[in-house]
Each structure stands twice: as structure tokens, then as C-alpha cells.
């Protein structure tokens, strides 16, 4: 049976009428019965055959497995998009508003959603900038670059260029305040060149204390946005990786902003333990951010993610194919894209069938084993790998660290370096005190399938 979401041309063959009609419409608009039209009319049967045999054309494969790759259809995220719409609207009206933080496992679509939020802000003519946090790297310079970009977006619409220059002077001072004291020749060589050709201001956002400096910088940026009648949105991906001191400074600056109602928001995305990271740094962070945990797509959304892009290419799937795909991808967006991509290339014709999925599955799985699982596994040290294998043996739910120690016949304390290393590499997270889980969906299954 062909899938319920009709493509308008569900089964091969239905296209002829369609082309016929299109041809007729063209003909009506431009009634020039030339030799050329009759030439094509004669060629039509051969052309149809050619088109039919290429209905599932690899060149037009719409699916997009890859980190942060924009999916052909952003399925199942309407609630989050609506929530963010409300956030933008409230901030624009000067209402007190909590900012948003998206959390979820690897490959679930956090980066993509963050980018969609950014597009929404840009559509409202907001200034936007984005950073990707890295362990052991201060956010000072990345934040400076991101805000520089946001202000550049607003500058052409600002009536007073000196207000922009004034802000850029503060921004430059902020960026440079984190540097080694002047005088050390090395520091001069590495002096940040932000492409800001105004002199650095003095006495604002340049104390060297990130909490004070960020607060002042955010307040000033928000005030420039107010002049233009819009807001600024700073997007932070992999937010759990921000070093502890910087997280605390960022929360404090957001807290300050939320109190004075400036139109600047920080929107974050990170792994499921991000809320715990934030509340460990500032207890009020729970009230500061609205958390949205995103997860695997439900059946309807997963089908939509597959069918809508296919429909645009006049291709569809049978119900049995959709059942098989949901069974394989389990609704995880990365897997949905990865399986669909291979299946499309394998399928000879539309509708795509369960048989096509069966043929494609081994190739899709081996691509995932290398690109999605293997690349992460390779980052772990031998001790960390032992730790993960022990976790995998214990099942797919969060497991007690003490059980991992028992499994390895070791003292829990001796395993702390491996556990901490894995958390830092973003391969596992601590779901609750004393429990650990994989950040990568199906990672346990992958490890169990590996030869010992």
C-alpha cells in the first residue's frame, strides 16, 4: 500500500497526465504550433520512459545526514518554534522573558533547531550572533565576535553612527581585556584583531572580570538594539562545554539583563545535563531559562520528515517501507536522514518499498558505524573505551557508576578519570547523581555489536 500522505503522483505512471496537463497549459499560454513542438510531441514516449526510470534520481536525493545539516523538512518541532516565537515577541515588547535552552542527545537536532531560531530572529530584523563553546576555551572572544556580527547587522539601520562606534570601542576593550598583560612580546603578537577600526574604550567592560564585563557589554548592546527598535539574540551551541567560571559569568549577565528588561537574549543548546551544569553554577538559573528537551521524533513526524521532501521530487514510500524505516531509525533525526539517504540511492523506482529498505539497511548501518559511532569511539582512550563497554553490557538505561565499577572489578574512585574524560568529550553524561548514560543514541547497541 502506498503511504497516506499522497504525493499527488503516488505511483509510477501517474505522471503522464500531469505532464500532459502541464504541456497543455503551456500550449494555451503560448499557442505557437511550431515544428519544435511537434518534434517534442513525437519524442514524448521515449522521454517518458527515461523520466520514469529516473524517478528516484540520486542527484535529487533530498536527505541530509550530517552535523548541523539543515534537514529538507524540520519535522516535529512546531511546539519549540512556537515557544520561541513567543519569546521573540515578548522581548520585542519589552516584557520580562526567560530565555530558551534546548537540550537533547547527540544527533537529535539541537544545532538545526538553534539555526532555525536564528533565522526567525533575523526575519524580525534582529541582530544575531552564534558561538560554539569548547572545553577549556574562554567565551570572551567568541562572544565578542558574535556580538560584533550582531551589531554589524543593525548598524546600517542606526541613525547615529557615533553610538555604534562607541559600542564598538567597548566591544574591542572587552575582547582585549582577557589578554595577557601588555609588555609581553608574545601577547602582542597574538593580540586579537577583531576588524574593529575604532580605538578601544576605557573603563567599561574591560575590568578583566568576565562577570562584570559581560554584564556591561550586554547592557550596552541591548541599548543599541533598543535604539533600532529590535533585539539581539546570542546563540550558544554545545553550551555544556563552557568552562565553569564562564558559565557562572554568563548566567549572572543574563540575570542582570532579565532584571532591566534589555532586549538581548542568550539562547543555548546542549546535552541533557546542561540544566544541571547551569544550576550548579547559579542556583537561580532554573528561573532564568526555559528548558526545552527535544527527543526522537514520533511516528507521525518521522514519516513527515521522510515524505514531505520526497513528495517535492514526486517520490513516495509504501506504508510497509515507512514501518521498516521507523523500526530502523527509531525516530532519531540523524538516523532518519542517514537511512533515507541510502534508501533513496538504492531504490529503483517510486514508491520506495520495504524491500528497498532491506537492501539499503546494511550500507546505512555501516555508514553510521564509521561516521556517527566510530568517529566518536575513536576519540576515547583505551581506559575510557573499557568504561563504555562495561556501561553497554549493563543495558541502555542510565547505569549506576558503582555497577560499572563492579562490572570492571575496580574501585569506583579509580574509574573517575575515565568517567570524567568521557563526560568532557561529550560521550556520556551524568543523568542524575551517581548515574551515567550515553549521549549518543544506540551507542550501547553499537558497542555490543563490536568484537571484544
311 contacts ligand ATP (rule: CB under 6 A): no
The DSSP call for residue 352 is: B
- The answer to whether 272 touches 103, Cβ cutoff 8 Å, is yes
CB of 377 to Mg ion, least distance (A): 18
- The answer to whether 171 touches 144, Cβ cutoff 8 Å, is yes
- The residue within the footprint of ligand ATP, chosen from 10, 62, 109, 331 (CB under 6 A), is 109
Selection from 215, 163, 171 nearest residue 194 by Cα: 171
CB of 182 to Mg ion, least distance (A): 37
Q: Could you tell me the three cell numbers for 239?
A: 553550551
Size of the site for Mg ion (CB under 5 A): 2
333 contacts ligand ATP (rule: CB under 6 A): yes
What does 333 interact with, of Mg ion, ligand ATP, none (CB < 5 to 8 A by kind)? ligand ATP
Of 109 and 231, nearer to ligand ATP (C-beta) is: 109
Strand order in the sheet with 127-132: 127-132, 232-237, 264-270, 99-103, 289-293
- The residue within the footprint of ligand ATP, chosen from 15, 62, 65, 309 (CB under 6 A), is 65
The DSSP call for residue 207 is: S
Q: For helices 210-228 and 161-176, what crossing angle results, to 10°?
A: 160
CB of 333 to ligand ATP, least distance (A): 3
The count of C-alpha atoms lying within 13 angstroms of the C-alpha of 334, restricted to the half-sphere facing its C-beta, is: 22
- Residues in region 181-240 near ligand ATP by CB under 6 A: none
CB of 379 to ligand ATP, least distance (A): 13
Q: Which stretch binds Mg ion (CB under 5 A): 49-57, 111-119, 317-325, 421-429?
A: 111-119
Distances (CA, A) of 115 to 235, 300, 336, 422: 9, 23, 19, 27
337 contacts Mg ion (rule: CB under 5 A): no
State the DSSP string of 78-146: HHHHHHHHHHHHHHHTT----EEEEE--TTSSHHHHHHHHHHHHHHTT-EEEEEE--TT--SHHHHHHH
- The residue within the footprint of ligand ATP, chosen from 15, 104, 331, 441 (CB under 6 A), is 104
What does 65 interact with, of ligand ATP, Mg ion, none (CB < 5 to 8 A by kind)? ligand ATP
Q: Could you tell me the three cell numbers for 125?
A: 530584523
Which residue's Cβ has the minimum distance to Mg ion? 111
108 contacts ligand ATP (rule: CB under 6 A): yes
Q: Which stretch binds Mg ion (CB under 5 A): 103-111, 165-173, 334-342, 388-396?
A: 103-111
- The residue within the footprint of ligand ATP, chosen from 15, 55, 62, 74 (CB under 6 A), is 74
Task: Give the CA angle between residues 371, 377, 380 to the nearest 5°.
Answer: 140
111 contacts Mg ion (rule: CB under 5 A): yes
Task: Give the CA angle between residues 57, 60, 61 to the nearest 5°.
Answer: 90
282 contacts ligand ATP (rule: CB under 6 A): no
Of 115 and 350, nearer to ligand ATP (C-beta) is: 115
107 contacts ligand ATP (rule: CB under 6 A): yes
Binding residues for ligand ATP (CB under 6 A): 64-69, 71, 74-77, 104, 106-112, 305, 333-334, 336-337
Amino acid at each position: 500500500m502506498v503511504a497516506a500522505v499522497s504525493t499527488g503522483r503516488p505511483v509510477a505512471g501517474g505522471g503522464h497526465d500531469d505532464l500532459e496537463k502541464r504541456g497543455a497549459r503551456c500550449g494555451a499560454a503560448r499557442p505557437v504550433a511550431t515544428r519544435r513542438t511537434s518534434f517534442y510531441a513525437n519524442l514524448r514516449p521515449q522521454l517518458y520512459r527515461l523520466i520514469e526510470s529516473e524517478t528516484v534520481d540520486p542527484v535529487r536525493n533530498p536527505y541530509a545526514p550530517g552535523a548541523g545539516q539543515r534537514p529538507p523538512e524540520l519535522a516535529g518541532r512546531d511546539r519549540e518554534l512556537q515557544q520561541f516565537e513567543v519569546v521573540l515577541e515578548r522581548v520585542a515588547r519589552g516584557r520580562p522573558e526567560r530565555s530558551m535552552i534546548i537540550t537533547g542527545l547527540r544527533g537529535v537536532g539541537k544545532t538545526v533547531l538553534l539555526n532555525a531560531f536564528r533565522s526567525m530572529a533575523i526575519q524580525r530584523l534582529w541582530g544575531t550572533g552564534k558561538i560554539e563553546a569548547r572545553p577549556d576555551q574562554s567565551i570572551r572572544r567568541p562572544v565578542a565576535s558574535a556580538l560584533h556580527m550582531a551589531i554589524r547587522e543593525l548598524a546600517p539601520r542606526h541613525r547615529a553612527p557615533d553610538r555604534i562606534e562607541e559600542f564598538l570601542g567597548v566591544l574591542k576593550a572587552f575582547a582585549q581585556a582577557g589578554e595577557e598583560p601588555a609588555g609581553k612580546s608574545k601577547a602582542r603578537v597574538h593580540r586579537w584583531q577583531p576588524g574593529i577600526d575604532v580605538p578601544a574604550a576605557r573603563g567599561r567592560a574591560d575590568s578583566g572580570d568576565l562577570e562584570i564585563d559581560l554584564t556591561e557589554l550586554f547592557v550596552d548592546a541591548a541599548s543599541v538594539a533598543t535604539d533600532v527598535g529590535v533585539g539581539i539574540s546570542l546563540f550558544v551551541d554545545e553550551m555544556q562545554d563552557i568552562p565553569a567560571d564562564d558559565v557562572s559569568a554568563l548566567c549572572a549577565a543574563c540575570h542582570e539583563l532579565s532584571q532591566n528588561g534589555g532586549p538581548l537574549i542568550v539562547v543555548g543548546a546542549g546535552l541533557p545535563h546542561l540544566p544541571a551544569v547551569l544550576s550548579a553554577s547559579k542556583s537561580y538559573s532554573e528561573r532564568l531559562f526555559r528548558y526545552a528537551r527535544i527527543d526522537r521524533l514520533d511516528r507521525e513526524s518521522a514519516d513527515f520528515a521522510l515524505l514531505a521532501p520526497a513528495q517535492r521530487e514526486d517520490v513516495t514510500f509504501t506504508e510497509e517501507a515507512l514501518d521498516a524505516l521507523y523500526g530502523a531509525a527509531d525516530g532519531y533525526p540523524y538516523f532518519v536522514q542517514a537511512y533515507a539517504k541510502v534508501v533513496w540511492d538504492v531504490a529503483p523506482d517510486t514508491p520506495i518499498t520495504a524491500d528497498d529498505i532491506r537492501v539499503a539497511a546494511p550500507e546505512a548501518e555501516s555508514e553510521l558505524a564509521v561516521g556517527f559511532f566510530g568517529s566518536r569511539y575513536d576519540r576515547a582512550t583505551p581506559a575510557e573505551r573499557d568504561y563504555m563497554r562495561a556501561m553497554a553490557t549493563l543495558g541502555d538505561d542510565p547505569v549506576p557508576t558503582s555497577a560499572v565499577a563492579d562490572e570492571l572489578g575496580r574501585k569506583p574512585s579509580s574509574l573517575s578519570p575515565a568517567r570524567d574524560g568521557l563526560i568532557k568529550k561529550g560521550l556520556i553524561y551524568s543523568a542524575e547523581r551517581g548515574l551515567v548514560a550515553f549521549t549518543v543514541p544506540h551507542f550501547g547497541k553499537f558497542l555490543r555489536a563490536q568484537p571484544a
